[in-house]
Amino acid sequence: MGYESKVIIADKHTNNNWYEVIGDIDMCVMGYDFLRFFEKELKDDESVIIDNEATNVDKYGDKISYTNDIDTLIKYLENVNNIEHYRRIDLLLGTLKSINKSNWDNIIIMHYGH
C-alpha cells in the first residue's frame, strides 16, 4: 500500500509565515514508512503556494508535514533504493544531496499528499 506523494523543497521567509517553493518532485506512490520522516506540520498561520493557492493542507485534507533533517532523509532513501530500486528516488536523492543548507534561511522538505 502506498500514498501519492509530492516532495516539496521550500524555504521559509523570515519576515512572513509562508514558504517559497524552490522545487518539487512528484514521487507517485511511496510507502507509508516514507511518511515517518515528515514529523512536523505547518502551523495554522503558515502556508505554501501550491497550484497557485496558499495552503497548509494537502489534497487529503491533512496538514502538510515536513522535515528539516535532510541528512537522515537522504540515508533512508539510499537504503530503500538499494533494496527496491525506484527511478524517482535517484532524482530526489540527487536533488537533496545538492542542497547547500548554508545558502538558505530555513530550508525544509515537505510532504504533500495528492
Tell whether pTM > 0.75: yes
Range of the domain at 62: 2-113
- Total domains in the chain come to 1
Q: Can you give the pLDDT at residue 109?
A: 97
Average pLDDT of the chain to the nearest whole number: 89
Q: What mean pLDDT is predicted for residues 41-59?
A: 94
**Four-residue CA torsion sign, 22, 26, 27, 33:** positive
Strand 53-55: give its sheet, edge to edge. Answer: 40-41, 65-67, 107-113, 2-12, 18-31, 47-50, 53-55
Cα-to-chain-centroid distance, residue 4: 12
Give the Cα separation of 106 and 66 in Å (integer): 12
